[in-house]
Amino acid sequence: MKSKLPLFAGIILLTVGIIIRKTTGMATEGLALIIAGVLGKTYYIVSKARSGEYRPGYELLLLFIGLFMFLYGLHLRAHEPPFNPAFLIVPGISLKVVFIILFIRKVRKSRITEGT
């Protein structure tokens, strides 16, 4: 459980940051929590890759594209874009969810093959 602390802390910080941005006027603080959450989850992924439990593949591209779309959509909300920023935010979150599913499958698969 201790090795998963950065992952869970990152998820919690990200969620709290989104809630703060949506419900209060503290946009800067919310964005700081979102970025801290992203960094925590990134640290977890990098540590799994360094330990050999996770071998990065094409799914990492989905994560980076999803992160870019999500963060750029959040950035555009502060300005007056010619389109709804949700058109970037929702697919960005979707790509990140697909990455998480593929990441979990790969880590579990590596544990199963190492155990036998």
Per-residue pLDDT 10s for the chain (116 aa) are 567 888 889 889 988 998 898 888 888 898 899 889 989 988 988 888 888 888 888 888 998 899 899 889 988 888 888 889 889 989 998 998 898 888 888 888 877 776 65
Residues 31 and 61 in one domain: no
Residues 6 or more apart in contact with residue 115 via CB below 8 angstroms: none
Same domain? For 63 and 73 the reply is yes
Question: In the chain, how long is the greatest CA-to-CA distance?
Answer: 56
Instruction: Determine the structural domain holding residue 1 and report its residue range.
Output: 1-53
Say if residue 48 is in the same domain as residue 59.
Answer: no
* 60 and 95 inside one domain: yes
Q: Residues 106, 65: one domain? A: yes
Domain end point (choices 36, 53, 70): 53
Alpha helical stretches, state H, 5-85? 5-23, 27-51, 59-77
Sequence-distant (6+) residues with CB within 8 A of 18 are 30, 34
